[in-house]
Structure 1
Amino acid sequence: MQPQESTGVQYSRWNENNQDQVSVNTSNTDAPAWRRVYTTLCTRNLAIAMKVVGGFALFWIILILGYVTGYYVHKCKQQ
């Protein structure tokens, strides 16, 4: 009996030494690219840092758009 190669936990009770064997394969090679990117960018401390940076960027974008829009809306006509 040969073990199958797949990600996850495999439990093998039948071996030569009569000992139970548990092996964990955590390879990400079978995962789709979007899942690897999500796992890298949206978990742990990196996710918190990205949310903070994204919040600052969104704040400045809204501030600049509001300033430019307000300038053109309230601009006095020159004769």
Structure 2
Amino acid sequence: MSVTVLYFASLRDATGVASEILPTPVSLAALYDALLARHGFSIARERLRVAVDGAFVDWNDPVADGAEIAFIPPVSGG
């Protein structure tokens, strides 16, 4: 089974894509840690927000097959 991962801001820049389909992870934390190693993200997990199916969740919340996961880095504006 699989999930869709959405990337925003610097994470999108690092991956070169807006989204990708990946196998359903054991946990959100494990998924981000694997992506951090794979794509060389410069943002630690503790600095991100994570959303599943459009709602902010805790890193320990379960992930269902077919979910849409968004990693949202801190942003600044001016």
| TM-score range normalised by the length of the shorter chain | under 0.3
Normalised by the size of structure 1, how large is the TM-score? Answer: 0.19
Q: Highest relative contact order (Cα 8 Å, sep 6+), 1 or 2?
A: 2
Normalised by the size of structure 2, how large is the TM-score? Answer: 0.19
Greater fraction of residues in strand = 2
Whose Rg is larger?
1
